[in-house]
Amino acid sequence: MSGIMSSLASALSLGSVQSFHLWSGLIAVGIIFVFIAGHKLFERILFKLLRVAAKKLESEVFDSIVKAFEKPLKYLFVFLGLYLAYKYLMLRYIPLAAASGFMDKLMRVVVILTLATGLYNLETVYSSVLFKLDDRLNLGSTVLVKQLTVKVIRAVIMVLAIGMAASEFFDVNGFIAGLGIAGLAFAMAAKDTLGNMIAGMTLIMDRPYDIGEWVSCSGVEGEVEELSFRSTRIRTATKEVVVVPNSIMASNPISNFTRRGIRRIRFTLGVTYDAGPEDLENLRDRIMAYLDTENMILPDGRIVRFDQFGASSLDVLVNCYVNTNDLALFFEIRESVQLNVMKIMKEVGTSPAFPSLSVYMEPAEAAKSS
């Protein structure tokens, strides 16, 4: 009888323990569910209030800070639910206490990465601060310098964050000291990358081009969109993006068309051979007189001359410079010049020539063909 009673007591005790663990698990799951479901409410209430405050303050910096930390804080809120659920289970279930130190470290790592991600996302704030400092101190730094400075700031933030997170689990200093031969091998493998980075710094200091300028280098021509640590991104006239390593940009001649200030119009008029010397002189003088009336045509460098006897035409060279660097305006002026030259040719009685071939046949051959 006593054996039956002890068995019954053991069963009840085991059942109560299992029931206790079941309820503890359900409560932990409930905590996780509340935080997962509540992060939407957290987003709608807190960040909505912050956005309203940013609009009232009319502060772009505050608005950028809210946007930068919005997503990282949502993930932190969800992980906080997991952490609290674990802490609750640890209080109820002793064996879980052995992993308490690991969970505490993991929580600190998540907080570090959350702050680092938010600071990393503040790119617009860093750019705004750099532009204001440049205007206030009159530093005269280019857009490239500002962009690279922002990238350096973001890289430093991530390196520090990774270092702080890694230090929670192992000795970072010992790891760095122990790199030895492996570090040397890595450096040898990354020599091209290091060369591109050094070339990028050289380009920053020499300033051969800036963001938005039209350049040509090593067969690539287009608008500079970005200069990174490793390469320069150039968008060509056909809207393709070409990535050129900085080592190539630094070791080859660079033509910067944006900084020339003026653009050249140069074309050849082909006049038919039935035009006489007087016709060519009249055509030349009329074109020169017309160029004098164009305000955007510079007085220096205007050339209108009979150039050569072509295979099918008398070639007249027209050369002048437009006082603009705007590509659209240049095309407009060039079109106007060429249309007016066509009108002048018609007025002086000359005709444009086109490639032609004259065939002379002997009388006997002509008779046979007829």
What pLDDT sits at residue 244? 93
Tokens 């002189």 sit on residue: 281
| CA-wise closest residue to 110 among 80, 154, 68, 86 | 80
CATH class of 261-348: alpha beta
Cα–Cα distance between 340 and 347 in angstroms, integer? 10
| CA-wise closest residue to 215 among 281, 259, 150, 245 | 259
Q: How many CB atoms lie within 10 A of CB 104?
A: 14
CB contact at 8 A, 269 and 315: yes
Q: Which amino acid is at 68?
A: A
One digit per residue, the tens of pLDDT, for the chain of length 370 reads 444 444 434 443 444 444 444 555 555 566 556 666 566 666 667 667 777 776 766 667 777 777 788 788 777 777 777 777 666 666 555 455 555 677 778 888 888 888 888 888 888 777 777 777 666 655 555 666 677 777 778 888 888 888 888 877 776 566 555 555 555 555 555 566 667 777 777 787 778 888 888 899 989 999 999 887 788 999 998 899 999 998 899 889 999 988 888 889 999 999 999 899 999 999 999 999 999 999 999 998 899 999 999 888 999 999 999 998 888 899 999 999 999 999 999 999 998 888 777 777 776 655 565 5
Cα–Cα distance between 304 and 316 in angstroms, integer? 7
Cα–Cα distance between 150 and 127 in angstroms, integer? 7
Q: Is the dihedral of CA 211, 216, 218, 220 positive or negative?
A: positive
Considering the four listed CATH numbers 3.40.640.10, 3.30.70.250, 2.30.30.60, 1.20.210.10, the one that applies to the domain covering 191-259 is: 2.30.30.60
Tokens 């503040």 sit on residue: 122
Cα–Cα distance between 223 and 212 in angstroms, integer? 6
Q: How many CB atoms lie within 10 A of CB 146?
A: 19
What pLDDT sits at residue 179? 55
What pLDDT sits at residue 165? 82
Cα–Cα distance between 153 and 149 in angstroms, integer? 6
What pLDDT sits at residue 217? 92
What pLDDT sits at residue 4? 44
What pLDDT sits at residue 291? 94
CB contact at 8 A, 62 and 104: no
Could you tell me how far CA 214 lies from the centroid of its own chain? 15
Which residues 6+ apart lie within 8 Å of 168 measured at CB? Answer: 105, 108, 109
Cα–Cα distance between 345 and 113 in angstroms, integer? 73
